[in-house]
Chain A
Amino acid sequence: MKILVCISVVPDTTTKVKFIDGKEFDKAGVQWIINPWDELALTRALELKEASAGKIEKITVVNVGAVEAEATIRKALAMGADEAIRINTTAKDTFSVAGEISEAIKDQGFDVIFSGIESSDFNGVGVGGMIAEILDIQSVSAVSGIDFADDVFKVKRDIDGGFEMLEVKAPFVATVQKGIAIDPRIPNMRGIMMAKKKPLNVVESANCEPLSEYVQYEMPKPKPPVKLVENAAELVNVLHNEAKML
């Protein structure tokens, strides 16, 4: 069995975002990280492999990005992924990213493809579901737990207002969220050393065209300062009479 984990490289969560003329994200001084959900997905994939007594042979990570992404991709290898694929182009929109990944991996026979439920930059949620549709395989979304035993995957998915435990047959895409793992695995020294020797294959882009373009960024308008009140009675009074919210 082989597992693929889609990795997007995003600005550190504490980044104060800026744009150049409202047209382009200003990368100056930005720290890049593995998208938090993708990191959890990879963590769980590694745990599954370790517990599978050899049944899950390989964990591959894939990223659509320019050469700058490689430092972050190496971190995924340091965490324990066996190999990496970088598709050499910049991510344009969700559809083009999903198209690039599908094209690059369609003949590689991955049994499970993990993707994060959202990437914390553009907050697109579609990559996993789109890959599944393009490859014509099953997909399960909002996955907050996954186990592998007796050749079946038991998948926990959050439904709106509860959860379901599912049995899912490979191949499928799992779009994962929190709960799949709690804390991301931290690479150790040995992992970091080994990562340098692991394969990071660069694949040329299939030139998947985007369907949308980002034309103008805007920062939120500064909001008026907080109105402080003294006690609960006053708070209810302003919420009711001034804000008309209660």
Chain B
Amino acid sequence: MILIYTQNWDGKFKKLSYELVSYGAAIAKQMNTEVVALSIGNVANNELQSLGKYGASKVVSVNDPNLSVVDNKIYAKTISEAVNKYNAKVILFANNNEGKAIAPRISAKFKAALITGVGKLPKSVEPFVICKKVYTGKASVDVKVNSDIKVLTLFQNSFGVVEAPVDAEIETLELTIDTPTIKVIEQSKSTGKVLLNDAEIVVSGGRGMKSGDNWAGIEQLAEILNGGTACSRPVSDEGWRPHGEHVGQTGKIIAPNVYFALGISGAIQHLGGVSNSKCIVAINTDKEAPIFEAADYGIIGDVHKILPELIEEVKKLKS
């Protein structure tokens, strides 16, 4: 079996859950097996059922007040019960904060190799060989996995959501869940904003934006494109934008469909975080800027002049 660790937000599955199920279904086909999706938390039956549309033939739901806090130790124990029960051979997580927190524990529990940040299907399943990026995107490597069980984390937006409808059988798993040993004393969640890792389109600004006060245009463009916002490292170091938006070698690694690099020079450490984007668009006054070597499309010019025009053009297109 292929086991998927899904994530939901207030009872609604995140898009990454559908993508993980789609990816899992494709691997299941290669391995001639099926997909079990694990849902943790309070998720309604029809929402659980929705995973069938992407190929989950079984959806297992665990709900317990002790799971309201993501205690990595307890989550790993919970997931491992499902691994045992369904005899899972491949366990899939999203390559986001939560996935990266729990996947290593599952890997160690089962002596199962952990391959993080995959984006494509295995090249073969017997032996199990899969490609991943290394050296922050500067190269890729084929990894041969020698353990019976494999744990993979998938880059969001790399595989896509693919429909492969089956009837999902819903099952509730009754487990005794320990009391968390960590205590949440404060939580802050941004609502209504597209999360950077989820975003299919990302509008990002660098030092060429000149000041944090100039971000209204970036936010506006992101909003009309239903995208997320990002920035280069100096921008977050200066406090123009929050650290969570910093992309690159020492920030987030993202793979949107379109990455707009506005006033970003394209340093090698920056490109490490964005080079998996399907299409890179650069606007920069300096025609020698390295970003133009990484970009698919570009304009040589002043972002302060071009951004407002770009917003108007996109508005026209969308209306």
Contacts and interface: CB of A to CB of B under 8 A. Distances in A.
B183 A167 contact: yes
Given A139-B72, A211-B147, A233 B313 contact: yes
Contacts of B139: 17, 19, 217-220
Given A13-B268, A169-B181, A218 B246 contact: no
Interface residues on A, range: 35 or more
Nearest to A117: B100
Contacts of A226: 282, 292-293, 295-298
Contacts of B301: 231
Nearest to B287: A228
Interface in B24-53: none
B252 to A, nearest CB: 9
A175 B201 CA distance: 29
Most chain B CB neighbours (cut-off 10 Å) among A158, A212, A215: A212
Interface in A190-245: 210-220, 223-224, 226-233, 235-236, 238-240, 243, 245
Interface string B174-191: 000000011111111110
A218 B140 contact: yes
A160 B97 contact: yes
Nearest to A230: B299
Interface stretch (A45-53, A69-77, A81-89, A127-135): A127-135
Helix, strand, loop or mixed for chain B's interface? mixed
A235 B299 contact: yes
B125 interface: no
Contacts of B282: 226
A94 B146 CA distance: 13
Given A122-B134, A144-B243, A236-B310, A218 B141 contact: yes
A231 B306 contact: yes
Contacts of A133: 76, 104-105, 107-109
Contact of A141 (B72, B201, B317): B72
B181 to A, nearest CB: 6
A159 B253 CA distance: 15
Contacts of A231: 299, 301, 306, 309
B129 interface: yes
A164 B116 contact: no
A162 B188 contact: yes
Contact of A123 (B133, B236, B278, B314): B133
Given A133-B109, A216-B141, A232-B310, 13 more contacts: A120-B136, A122-B135, A129-B72, A140-B182, A141-B101, A159-B97, A165-B187, A210-B146, A212-B147, A217-B134, A227-B298, A240-B317, A243-B279
27 contacts: A13-B136, A13-B268, A17-B139, A36-B250, A95-B113, A120-B135, A129-B100, A130-B104, A132-B72, A137-B73, A141-B97, A162-B188, A167-B183, A212-B143, A212-B146, A215-B142, A220-B138, A226-B295, A226-B296, A227-B296, A232-B313, A233-B309, A235-B281, A236-B314, A245-B201, A245-B279, A246-B258
Interface of A: 11, 13-17, 19, 36-37, 93-95, 98, 117, 120-130, 132-134, 137-142, 144, 154, 157-169, 175, 178-179, 182, 210-220, 223-224, 226-233, 235-236, 238-240, 243, 245-246
- Which 10 A-B residue pairs are closest in the complex by CB-CB distance? A129-B104, A141-B101, A126-B104, A211-B113, A133-B108, A232-B309, A162-B189, A165-B186, A130-B108, A232-B310
